[in-house]
Copies of this chain bind each other. A is one copy, B any other.
């Protein structure tokens, strides 16, 4: 091996380590987790791009759970507890980002996890199922029923899960599935950092928060509310206005963007 080759090899190895003092360290570590997920066959390549979009929204949201998000998370938990057959839909990114947490939430809410992906192959679905099973949750992944009205693979569901569910939690949703779930008479709870997406706009409850914060928050609310009466839960749900959440999220993004921009512009005077 020549000197130059050795040098190249050192560089290639070195760069894998992200310095802890990097201003975007946490965000970069989450990226690395998704990349690991891709290498395991759990995350889709398109999922990496989708994550990038979310990252940017999180950045302009200040990377924190705002009051409107906490409120939506609490209401979502109350609605899941009130539901007869709540299901949590899990795709590749969700499985990689919060495997332990989503399994704990599933147990607390008595809502099974169902693997449901846009970039479908039975092998991929089985890999996600196997990966999640390590964390001890009940996983539905039979892919033996079809949601009418959807052309892509997300219409393939489990006969015991989304197919018969009354409420579905869909973290990191893409496009038109929310609408179809609604047409099939289901309540939809979305977790989406982009308050402008079709999913965010159409869901019954939209949680505009990063999934790595949203699920732990929901676990807390689930512990707090699981002994509450139906009346208390109903009051929480009936009090809620999702349009207000969307408006607050959009205003927060706009105001934060203005604030960040002004700060940055001052820096370079």
Contact = CB atoms under 8 A, between A and B. Distances in A.
A45 B267 CA distance: 32
Contact of A152 (B15, B50, B122, B156): B15
Interface string A27-61: 00001001100100000011011111111110100
Binding site secondary structure of chain A: helix
A153 to B, nearest CB: 5
B56 A49 contact: no
Given A11-B156, A15-B119, A243-B268, 20 more contacts: A4-B144, A12-B121, A12-B122, A15-B118, A15-B152, A15-B153, A19-B151, A31-B49, A35-B45, A38-B45, A49-B49, A52-B52, A52-B56, A53-B53, A201-B264, A243-B265, A247-B265, A250-B257, A250-B264, A254-B254
A57 B144 CA distance: 39
A260 interface: yes
Given A52-B55, A201-B267, A122 B5 contact: yes
Interface string A175-187: 0000000000000
Nearest to A257: B254
Interface string A129-168: 0000000000000011000000111001000000000000
Top 7 nearest A-B pairs (CB, nearest first) are A52-B52, A250-B261, A48-B48, A49-B52, A56-B56, A52-B53, A8-B122
A160 to B, nearest CB: 16
A228 interface: no
Interface in A90-124: 118-122
Contacts of A269: 243
A15 B124 CA distance: 14
A190 B54 CA distance: 23
29 contacts: A4-B143, A8-B120, A11-B153, A12-B122, A15-B120, A15-B153, A19-B151, A31-B46, A34-B49, A35-B46, A48-B48, A48-B49, A52-B53, A52-B54, A52-B55, A52-B56, A53-B53, A53-B56, A56-B56, A56-B57, A196-B260, A196-B264, A243-B265, A243-B269, A247-B261, A250-B261, A250-B264, A251-B261, A257-B257
Contact of A56 (B4, B152, B194, B247): B194
Contacts of A50: 52
Contacts of A35: 45-46
A237 interface: no
Contacts of A268: 201-202, 243, 246
